[in-house]
Structure 1
Amino acid sequence: MELKDVINRRLSVRYYEDREVEEDKIRDLVKVGIRAPTASGLENWLFVVYKDKNFRKRIHETIYEAHAEYYRAHGLPEEKIEKLRMRIFEKGMYKAPVYIGVFVDKETRFLKGEEYKEIEFLWSIESAAMAIENLMLKAVELELGTCYIGVTSLEKYQKKLRKMTGLDDNWYLVGLIPVGYPAEKIVPRPRRKPLEKVLKVI
Protein backbone atom coordinates (compact mmCIF):
# COMPACT_ATOMS: atom_id res chain seq x y z
CA MET A 1 0.00 0.00 0.00
CA GLU A 2 1.45 3.35 -1.06
CA LEU A 3 1.65 6.23 1.42
CA LYS A 4 -1.02 8.23 -0.44
CA ASP A 5 -3.41 5.27 -0.10
CA VAL A 6 -2.68 4.95 3.61
CA ILE A 7 -3.33 8.67 4.13
CA ASN A 8 -6.57 8.57 2.15
CA ARG A 9 -7.82 5.48 4.00
CA ARG A 10 -7.17 6.92 7.45
CA LEU A 11 -10.40 8.02 9.05
CA SER A 12 -11.99 8.11 12.48
CA VAL A 13 -13.27 4.64 13.33
CA ARG A 14 -15.82 4.66 16.17
CA TYR A 15 -16.97 1.02 16.24
CA TYR A 16 -14.68 -1.96 16.73
CA GLU A 17 -14.90 -5.72 16.58
CA ASP A 18 -14.77 -7.62 19.86
CA ARG A 19 -11.38 -8.99 18.88
CA GLU A 20 -8.01 -8.75 20.57
CA VAL A 21 -5.27 -6.71 18.93
CA GLU A 22 -2.03 -8.67 18.66
CA GLU A 23 0.80 -7.56 20.94
CA ASP A 24 3.27 -7.22 18.06
CA LYS A 25 0.91 -4.87 16.23
CA ILE A 26 0.57 -2.67 19.32
CA ARG A 27 4.34 -2.51 19.60
CA ASP A 28 4.60 -1.66 15.89
CA LEU A 29 2.24 1.29 16.40
CA VAL A 30 4.38 2.73 19.18
CA LYS A 31 7.61 2.03 17.27
CA VAL A 32 6.49 4.24 14.39
CA GLY A 33 5.10 6.78 16.84
CA ILE A 34 8.51 7.41 18.33
CA ARG A 35 9.97 7.95 14.86
CA ALA A 36 8.14 11.29 14.75
CA PRO A 37 10.07 14.57 15.09
CA THR A 38 10.53 15.57 18.71
CA ALA A 39 11.29 19.16 19.72
CA SER A 40 14.84 19.64 21.06
CA GLY A 41 15.27 15.86 20.87
CA LEU A 42 13.56 15.58 24.29
CA GLU A 43 11.41 12.52 23.52
CA ASN A 44 9.40 13.48 26.61
CA TRP A 45 6.43 11.38 25.55
CA LEU A 46 4.91 8.28 27.08
CA PHE A 47 2.59 5.83 25.31
CA VAL A 48 0.33 4.05 27.79
CA VAL A 49 -1.47 0.99 26.45
CA TYR A 50 -4.67 0.23 28.34
CA LYS A 51 -5.63 -3.42 27.82
CA ASP A 52 -7.00 -4.34 31.26
CA LYS A 53 -10.76 -4.98 31.06
CA ASN A 54 -11.59 -2.86 34.12
CA PHE A 55 -9.47 0.06 32.94
CA ARG A 56 -11.07 -0.11 29.49
CA LYS A 57 -14.55 -0.05 31.02
CA ARG A 58 -13.66 3.03 33.08
CA ILE A 59 -12.10 4.71 30.05
CA HIS A 60 -15.19 4.03 27.94
CA GLU A 61 -17.36 5.63 30.63
CA THR A 62 -14.98 8.59 30.85
CA ILE A 63 -15.19 9.09 27.09
CA TYR A 64 -18.96 9.47 27.42
CA GLU A 65 -18.70 11.86 30.38
CA ALA A 66 -16.18 14.04 28.53
CA HIS A 67 -18.25 14.10 25.34
CA ALA A 68 -21.41 14.95 27.29
CA GLU A 69 -19.69 17.92 28.92
CA TYR A 70 -18.25 19.03 25.59
CA TYR A 71 -21.62 18.96 23.81
CA ARG A 72 -23.46 20.60 26.72
CA ALA A 73 -20.91 23.41 26.60
CA HIS A 74 -21.69 23.70 22.89
CA GLY A 75 -25.40 24.01 23.69
CA LEU A 76 -26.58 20.59 22.51
CA PRO A 77 -30.02 19.75 23.97
CA GLU A 78 -30.33 16.95 26.53
CA GLU A 79 -32.29 14.68 24.18
CA LYS A 80 -29.28 14.62 21.85
CA ILE A 81 -26.96 13.96 24.78
CA GLU A 82 -29.19 10.98 25.60
CA LYS A 83 -28.87 9.71 22.03
CA LEU A 84 -25.11 9.99 22.39
CA ARG A 85 -25.28 7.97 25.62
CA MET A 86 -27.24 5.25 23.82
CA ARG A 87 -24.74 5.11 20.95
CA ILE A 88 -21.83 4.84 23.35
CA PHE A 89 -23.25 2.36 25.88
CA GLU A 90 -25.85 0.39 23.92
CA LYS A 91 -24.21 0.34 20.50
CA GLY A 92 -20.64 0.35 21.75
CA MET A 93 -19.32 3.50 20.12
CA TYR A 94 -15.66 4.08 21.11
CA LYS A 95 -15.60 0.68 22.89
CA ALA A 96 -12.22 -0.70 21.86
CA PRO A 97 -10.04 -3.68 22.82
CA VAL A 98 -7.12 -1.29 23.34
CA TYR A 99 -6.72 2.39 24.20
CA ILE A 100 -3.43 4.22 23.85
CA GLY A 101 -2.94 7.35 25.92
CA VAL A 102 -0.20 9.65 24.65
CA PHE A 103 1.25 11.81 27.43
CA VAL A 104 4.04 14.38 27.58
CA ASP A 105 6.11 15.30 30.63
CA LYS A 106 5.81 19.05 31.14
CA GLU A 107 8.84 19.14 33.43
CA THR A 108 11.31 17.68 30.91
CA ARG A 109 12.69 20.78 29.24
CA PHE A 110 15.60 22.00 27.14
CA LEU A 111 15.38 25.74 27.77
CA LYS A 112 15.30 26.48 31.51
CA GLY A 113 14.05 30.07 31.51
CA GLU A 114 10.49 30.60 32.71
CA GLU A 115 9.80 32.70 29.60
CA TYR A 116 10.22 29.55 27.46
CA LYS A 117 8.00 27.26 29.51
CA GLU A 118 4.80 27.80 27.51
CA ILE A 119 6.38 27.49 24.08
CA GLU A 120 8.28 24.35 25.09
CA PHE A 121 5.04 22.83 26.32
CA LEU A 122 3.44 23.61 22.94
CA TRP A 123 6.41 22.05 21.15
CA SER A 124 5.97 18.91 23.24
CA ILE A 125 2.29 18.71 22.31
CA GLU A 126 3.17 19.18 18.64
CA SER A 127 5.74 16.38 18.87
CA ALA A 128 3.20 14.04 20.47
CA ALA A 129 0.60 14.98 17.85
CA MET A 130 3.01 14.01 15.08
CA ALA A 131 3.68 10.73 16.88
CA ILE A 132 -0.08 10.10 17.05
CA GLU A 133 -0.41 10.68 13.30
CA ASN A 134 2.43 8.21 12.62
CA LEU A 135 0.67 5.69 14.84
CA MET A 136 -2.67 6.19 13.07
CA LEU A 137 -1.17 5.78 9.61
CA LYS A 138 0.61 2.58 10.65
CA ALA A 139 -2.72 1.31 11.98
CA VAL A 140 -4.20 1.61 8.48
CA GLU A 141 -1.37 -0.51 7.09
CA LEU A 142 -2.07 -3.12 9.81
CA GLU A 143 -5.81 -3.08 8.95
CA LEU A 144 -6.62 -1.52 12.31
CA GLY A 145 -8.90 1.42 13.03
CA THR A 146 -8.22 4.39 15.30
CA CYS A 147 -9.93 7.57 16.43
CA TYR A 148 -8.44 10.67 18.04
CA ILE A 149 -10.24 11.49 21.30
CA GLY A 150 -9.43 15.01 22.43
CA VAL A 151 -12.18 15.65 24.99
CA THR A 152 -10.50 13.39 27.57
CA SER A 153 -7.77 16.03 27.78
CA LEU A 154 -10.16 18.26 29.73
CA GLU A 155 -8.50 18.43 33.14
CA LYS A 156 -10.90 16.38 35.27
CA TYR A 157 -10.93 13.53 32.76
CA GLN A 158 -7.24 13.38 32.09
CA LYS A 159 -6.76 13.43 35.85
CA LYS A 160 -8.72 10.15 35.94
CA LEU A 161 -6.50 8.64 33.27
CA ARG A 162 -3.35 9.84 35.02
CA LYS A 163 -4.56 8.24 38.25
CA MET A 164 -5.22 4.92 36.48
CA THR A 165 -1.74 5.07 35.02
CA GLY A 166 0.01 6.12 38.22
CA LEU A 167 1.30 9.37 36.70
CA ASP A 168 1.65 12.64 38.58
CA ASP A 169 0.43 16.06 37.45
CA ASN A 170 3.58 16.70 35.41
CA TRP A 171 2.13 14.47 32.71
CA TYR A 172 -0.32 15.94 30.21
CA LEU A 173 -2.61 13.75 28.11
CA VAL A 174 -2.33 14.95 24.49
CA GLY A 175 -4.74 12.38 23.10
CA LEU A 176 -6.48 9.11 23.78
CA ILE A 177 -6.60 6.68 20.85
CA PRO A 178 -9.00 3.72 20.69
CA VAL A 179 -7.44 0.93 18.60
CA GLY A 180 -9.08 -2.15 17.13
CA TYR A 181 -10.32 -3.96 14.07
CA PRO A 182 -13.04 -1.83 12.45
CA ALA A 183 -16.62 -3.07 12.76
CA GLU A 184 -17.71 -0.50 10.18
CA LYS A 185 -16.92 -0.13 6.51
CA ILE A 186 -13.94 2.10 5.74
CA VAL A 187 -15.14 4.70 3.24
CA PRO A 188 -12.76 7.65 2.73
CA ARG A 189 -14.60 10.95 3.00
CA PRO A 190 -13.60 14.26 1.41
CA ARG A 191 -12.83 17.24 3.61
CA ARG A 192 -15.51 19.93 3.92
CA LYS A 193 -13.09 22.63 2.78
CA PRO A 194 -11.41 22.21 -0.63
CA LEU A 195 -7.68 22.75 -1.05
CA GLU A 196 -8.24 26.24 -2.48
CA LYS A 197 -9.88 27.35 0.80
CA VAL A 198 -6.97 26.33 3.02
CA LEU A 199 -3.94 27.02 0.79
CA LYS A 200 -2.22 30.37 0.42
CA VAL A 201 0.85 30.73 -1.76
CA ILE A 202 2.74 34.06 -1.50
Structure 2
Amino acid sequence: MELKKLINQRFSVRKYQKKAVEKEKLMRVLEAGRMAPSAVNYQPWHFIVVDDAEILKQLHNCYKRSWIQEAPLIIVACSDRSQSWKRSSDGKDSADIDVAIAIDHMTLMAAELGLGTCWVCNFDTNECTTILNIPPQIEPVALIPLGYPDIESPVKKRKPLNEIVHFNTFGNTIN
Protein backbone atom coordinates (compact mmCIF):
# COMPACT_ATOMS: atom_id res chain seq x y z
CA MET A 1 0.00 0.00 0.00
CA GLU A 2 1.18 3.53 -0.70
CA LEU A 3 2.64 5.07 2.49
CA LYS A 4 0.50 8.23 2.40
CA LYS A 5 -2.67 6.14 2.10
CA LEU A 6 -1.52 3.85 4.91
CA ILE A 7 -0.79 6.80 7.22
CA ASN A 8 -4.22 8.26 6.51
CA GLN A 9 -5.93 4.87 6.94
CA ARG A 10 -4.39 3.96 10.31
CA PHE A 11 -6.49 4.92 13.35
CA SER A 12 -6.90 3.96 17.00
CA VAL A 13 -9.15 0.90 17.05
CA ARG A 14 -11.37 0.46 20.07
CA LYS A 15 -13.68 -2.23 18.69
CA TYR A 16 -12.38 -5.61 17.56
CA GLN A 17 -13.82 -8.65 15.80
CA LYS A 18 -13.80 -11.98 17.60
CA LYS A 19 -11.14 -13.33 15.26
CA ALA A 20 -7.64 -14.51 16.07
CA VAL A 21 -4.61 -12.82 14.53
CA GLU A 22 -2.68 -15.22 12.33
CA LYS A 23 0.84 -16.03 13.56
CA GLU A 24 2.35 -14.92 10.24
CA LYS A 25 0.72 -11.48 10.52
CA LEU A 26 1.76 -11.13 14.16
CA MET A 27 5.36 -11.95 13.23
CA ARG A 28 5.31 -9.36 10.43
CA VAL A 29 4.09 -6.73 12.91
CA LEU A 30 6.83 -7.66 15.38
CA GLU A 31 9.46 -7.68 12.62
CA ALA A 32 8.43 -4.13 11.67
CA GLY A 33 9.13 -3.08 15.27
CA ARG A 34 12.46 -4.90 15.26
CA MET A 35 13.55 -3.06 12.12
CA ALA A 36 12.79 0.41 13.53
CA PRO A 37 15.67 2.84 13.94
CA SER A 38 16.93 3.75 17.40
CA ALA A 39 19.50 6.16 18.79
CA VAL A 40 23.00 4.76 18.15
CA ASN A 41 21.20 1.56 17.04
CA TYR A 42 21.00 0.42 20.67
CA GLN A 43 17.49 -1.04 20.18
CA PRO A 44 16.46 -0.66 23.86
CA TRP A 45 13.14 -2.45 23.53
CA HIS A 46 11.34 -5.65 24.39
CA PHE A 47 7.90 -6.71 23.16
CA ILE A 48 5.80 -9.08 25.25
CA VAL A 49 3.02 -10.72 23.25
CA VAL A 50 0.13 -11.65 25.52
CA ASP A 51 -2.40 -14.02 23.95
CA ASP A 52 -3.04 -16.42 26.83
CA ALA A 53 -6.64 -15.91 28.00
CA GLU A 54 -5.82 -16.00 31.71
CA ILE A 55 -2.90 -13.57 31.45
CA LEU A 56 -4.97 -11.28 29.20
CA LYS A 57 -7.70 -11.22 31.84
CA GLN A 58 -5.16 -10.16 34.45
CA LEU A 59 -3.66 -7.57 32.10
CA HIS A 60 -7.12 -6.07 31.51
CA ASN A 61 -7.02 -5.00 35.18
CA CYS A 62 -4.16 -2.65 34.30
CA TYR A 63 -6.45 -0.68 31.99
CA LYS A 64 -10.08 -0.88 33.01
CA ARG A 65 -11.84 -0.13 29.74
CA SER A 66 -14.16 -2.81 28.38
CA TRP A 67 -13.15 -2.34 24.74
CA ILE A 68 -9.60 -3.62 25.30
CA GLN A 69 -11.05 -6.98 26.32
CA GLU A 70 -12.23 -7.50 22.73
CA ALA A 71 -8.68 -7.58 21.32
CA PRO A 72 -7.39 -11.14 20.85
CA LEU A 73 -3.91 -10.14 21.96
CA ILE A 74 -1.91 -7.30 23.44
CA ILE A 75 1.68 -6.40 22.72
CA VAL A 76 3.32 -4.82 25.75
CA ALA A 77 6.06 -2.54 24.45
CA CYS A 78 8.84 -2.04 26.98
CA SER A 79 12.00 0.04 27.22
CA ASP A 80 15.31 -0.93 28.73
CA ARG A 81 16.93 2.24 30.05
CA SER A 82 20.11 0.29 30.84
CA GLN A 83 20.46 -0.26 27.07
CA SER A 84 19.41 3.17 25.75
CA TRP A 85 21.48 6.08 24.54
CA LYS A 86 21.62 9.23 26.66
CA ARG A 87 22.32 12.65 25.14
CA SER A 88 25.55 14.06 26.59
CA SER A 89 24.44 17.71 26.75
CA ASP A 90 21.55 17.11 29.15
CA GLY A 91 21.31 13.36 29.81
CA LYS A 92 18.02 12.99 27.87
CA ASP A 93 17.23 9.29 27.63
CA SER A 94 16.19 8.10 24.17
CA ALA A 95 14.44 4.93 25.39
CA ASP A 96 10.85 6.19 25.15
CA ILE A 97 11.52 7.81 21.77
CA ASP A 98 13.08 4.62 20.41
CA VAL A 99 10.20 2.47 21.66
CA ALA A 100 7.68 4.94 20.21
CA ILE A 101 9.33 4.68 16.79
CA ALA A 102 9.17 0.87 17.00
CA ILE A 103 5.49 1.01 18.03
CA ASP A 104 4.74 3.34 15.12
CA HIS A 105 6.37 0.87 12.72
CA MET A 106 4.26 -1.94 14.20
CA THR A 107 1.00 0.01 14.04
CA LEU A 108 1.59 0.93 10.40
CA MET A 109 2.43 -2.66 9.49
CA ALA A 110 -0.69 -3.82 11.31
CA ALA A 111 -2.79 -1.37 9.30
CA GLU A 112 -1.22 -2.59 6.06
CA LEU A 113 -2.18 -6.16 7.03
CA GLY A 114 -5.79 -5.18 7.77
CA LEU A 115 -5.28 -5.25 11.54
CA GLY A 116 -6.09 -2.57 14.08
CA THR A 117 -4.15 -1.21 17.04
CA CYS A 118 -4.43 1.46 19.71
CA TRP A 119 -1.67 3.03 21.78
CA VAL A 120 -2.55 2.73 25.47
CA CYS A 121 -0.18 4.61 27.76
CA ASN A 122 -2.58 5.30 30.64
CA PHE A 123 -2.30 1.98 32.44
CA ASP A 124 -1.04 0.65 35.75
CA THR A 125 2.61 -0.05 34.94
CA ASN A 126 3.33 -1.51 38.39
CA GLU A 127 0.55 -4.08 38.08
CA CYS A 128 1.62 -4.86 34.50
CA THR A 129 5.20 -5.40 35.67
CA THR A 130 4.03 -7.81 38.35
CA ILE A 131 1.65 -9.77 36.09
CA LEU A 132 4.23 -10.23 33.33
CA ASN A 133 7.22 -10.79 35.64
CA ILE A 134 9.10 -7.87 34.06
CA PRO A 135 12.57 -7.33 35.56
CA PRO A 136 13.34 -4.02 37.31
CA GLN A 137 15.46 -2.51 34.51
CA ILE A 138 12.62 -3.00 31.98
CA GLU A 139 9.74 -0.50 31.91
CA PRO A 140 6.39 -1.14 30.22
CA VAL A 141 5.75 1.89 27.99
CA ALA A 142 2.52 1.05 26.16
CA LEU A 143 -0.11 -1.61 25.71
CA ILE A 144 -0.85 -2.24 22.03
CA PRO A 145 -4.05 -4.25 21.55
CA LEU A 146 -3.95 -5.99 18.16
CA GLY A 147 -6.79 -7.53 16.20
CA TYR A 148 -9.20 -7.15 13.32
CA PRO A 149 -11.15 -3.87 13.53
CA ASP A 150 -14.91 -4.11 13.87
CA ILE A 151 -15.36 -0.46 12.93
CA GLU A 152 -14.66 1.72 9.88
CA SER A 153 -11.82 4.22 9.78
CA PRO A 154 -13.09 7.64 10.91
CA VAL A 155 -12.17 10.92 9.25
CA LYS A 156 -9.06 12.20 10.99
CA LYS A 157 -9.15 15.62 12.63
CA ARG A 158 -5.75 17.29 12.46
CA LYS A 159 -4.49 20.82 12.94
CA PRO A 160 -3.51 22.59 9.73
CA LEU A 161 0.20 22.82 8.92
CA ASN A 162 0.25 26.58 9.48
CA GLU A 163 -0.51 25.96 13.18
CA ILE A 164 2.29 23.46 13.77
CA VAL A 165 5.11 24.19 11.29
CA HIS A 166 7.68 26.94 11.87
CA PHE A 167 10.51 27.99 9.56
CA ASN A 168 13.93 28.94 10.93
CA THR A 169 12.59 30.25 14.26
CA PHE A 170 9.50 29.58 16.30
CA GLY A 171 6.64 31.73 15.11
CA ASN A 172 7.60 31.91 11.43
CA THR A 173 4.76 29.89 9.98
CA ILE A 174 3.37 28.99 6.58
CA ASN A 175 1.25 31.74 5.04
Answer yes or no: same fold by TM over 0.5.
yes
TM-score scaled by structure 1? 0.77
| Alignment map for 1:1-202 (pairs within 5 Å) | 1-64=1-64, 88-89=65-66, 93-95=67-69, 96-109=71-84, 118-119=91-92, 121=93, 123-152=94-123, 157-191=124-158, 193-202=159-168
Identity value in percent: 30
Q: Distance in 2 between matches of 1:59 and 1:138?
A: 24
Question: Quick check: 1:10–1:188 contact (8 Å CA) kept in 2?
Answer: no
Q: Distance in 2 between matches of 1:63 and 1:20?
A: 21
Q: Distance in 2 between matches of 1:124 and 1:32?
A: 18
Q: Which structure is richer in relative contact order (CA contacts within 8 A, separation 6 or more)?
A: 1
TM-score scaled by structure 2? 0.88
- Partner secondary structure for residue 172 of structure 1: strand
Select the structure that is richer in helix.
Answer: 1
Q: 1:9 to 1:188 in 2, by over 3 A?
A: farther
Q: Distance in 2 between matches of 1:104 and 1:3?
A: 27
Unaligned runs of 5+ in 1: 65-87
| 1:67 aligned residue | none
Superposition deviation, residue 109 in structure 1: 4.6
Q: Distance in 1 between matches of 2:16 and 2:161?
A: 31
Q: Distance in 2 between matches of 1:107 and 1:189?
A: 37
Q: Distance in 2 between matches of 1:110 and 1:150?
A: 22
Q: Distance in 2 between matches of 1:109 and 1:134?
A: 19
Name the Cα RMSD after superposition: 1.8
| 2:173 aligned residue | none
Superposition deviation, residue 110 in structure 1: 5.3
Superposition deviation, residue 13 in structure 1: 0.4
* Aligned-partner residue type, residue 200 of structure 1: H
Q: Distance in 2 between matches of 1:15 and 1:148?
A: 13
- Partner secondary structure for residue 63 of structure 2: helix
Q: 1:182 to 1:110 in 2, by over 3 A?
A: closer
